[in-house]
Amino acid sequence: MKDYDVVVVGAGPAGSTAARYASMHGARTLLLEEHEYIGSPVGCTGLLSTRAVKECGVRPTRDFVLNSVRGAFVHPINGECLRIDGKETKAYVVSRKLFDRKLANMAVQKDVDICLGSRVNGIEKADNKQKISVLKRGEPIKIYADVVIAADGVRSRVAKMAGLGNVSKVLPGIQTEVLYRSEDIDFVELFVGSQAPGFFAWSVPVNENISRIGLASDPKYGMHPNYLLERLLKDNKHILSRCSGGKLDMVFGGIPLGPLEKTYSDGIIIAGDAAGQVKPTSGGGIYTGAVCAKIAGKIAAKAVSEKDNSAKFLSEYDKGWRNEIGKELSIGMRIHDFIGHLSDGQMDELIDSINNPAILDTITHYGDMDRPSILIKKMLHPSKSLHMLKMFRAFAKAVL
């Protein structure tokens, strides 16, 4: 039986970051991970914006960065490909396994204790503490904590056990790593419309010969992601001409869309995918998860030092992260809904109207993977063409 100030459940990026921050702010912290290895299995493309890597407190070194990208080719169903050039490195393609291990290692360096092969399967209030039931390599143990941070991913058991529920909209994602000759390894490729209904498909270059090709789709269209991926690989002429067959790797995962209504209760805080802190426009959760995990760690440590782990005190976490990224997530959700409802024809028209030097220049200057609202506001500037302005006014009305 052990006693900690803060116990973090799940050693993904959000959990390791929250644990590091709790410890840095003076809390005796334990990080529990159900798997024997950090970062495995992984359900991610590993495309991290430069800001995401910085937010995690990591330098983009060659030990985990495999490639860097500066733009995107957007492929409509019919029509010309749109080339968006950010002119400078916008994102890194990383090994998630090595990235996650780096973050866990950084937590350990800041005196976080870590237990692998330790699955949390129960949590209950005991006096003023949380009593956590853990199955550690088959052996049941109990651990006590003043504050539990649940960073146990999209199907968070802890959030459920705490009565806070799980995110209701989860997009199934699938990805394979294939031998693929990218047109330009500085650019990711996006495939929109009915190729991945309700979301999009991607090809992210790892190097000259390998790419991560995947997609997520809205389950309401009733199409299995496996079917959609096979169809993309077989029927998309652009992909077909560049693939030389053979799947090197396969990953699956869920992308939670829209944050939980409440991310705290007595002695418990929910962070990362478990709380739905993911960008609805891209499905990326590392940047948003890191922003929130840092706040989670700080507030948990503050609750310990002020001897108040009540829901009221921990609501400061909820306010804190919503102040930082809440508006961006809700705008992102509206963009997701708007784009998700376009027909192939409307999507092609949208891409075609963006394919204009003045607009592409605005995207180069103001496009931001993590904060799309900045670009939307800039697109409304009167210097844009009348047609574009009309379209963006309608778009902005729907999303802002």
Residues that bind ligand FAD (CB under 6 A): 9-15, 32-35, 43-48, 119-120, 151-153, 157, 173, 175, 214, 251, 253-255, 272-274, 278, 283-286, 289
Q: Which residue is nearest to ligand FAD (CB)?
A: 285
Residue 156 or 362 having the CB closest to ligand FAD: 156
Residue 45 or 281 having the CB closest to ligand FAD: 45
Residue 154 or 388 having the CB closest to ligand FAD: 154
CB of 251 to ligand FAD, least distance (A): 6
Q: How far is residue 162 CA from its own chain's centroid?
A: 23
What is the rounded distance in angstroms from the CA atom of residue 278 to the CA atom of residue 317?
A: 17
Question: In which element (H, E) is residue 318 found?
Answer: helix 311-321
CB of 338 to ligand FAD, least distance (A): 21
Q: Are 8 and 19 in contact (CB under 8 A)?
A: yes
CB of 352 to ligand FAD, least distance (A): 27
Residue 146 or 273 having the CB closest to ligand FAD: 273
Per-residue DSSP letters for 284-314?
--HHHHHHHHHHHHHHHHHHHHTT---HHHH
CB of 285 to ligand FAD, least distance (A): 2
Tell which residue, 276, 290, 267, 287, has the closest CA to residue 127.
267
CB of 46 to ligand FAD, least distance (A): 5
Residue 193 or 283 having the CB closest to ligand FAD: 283
CB of 385 to ligand FAD, least distance (A): 33
Strand pairing class (201-205; 71-75): unpaired
Task: Specify the DSSP class assigned to residue 79.
Answer: S
The CA-based angle 274-46-354, given to 5 degrees, is 100
Omega into 197 within 30° of 0, i.e. cis?
no
Residue 221 or 252 having the CB closest to ligand FAD: 252
Strand pairing class (139-150; 268-270): parallel
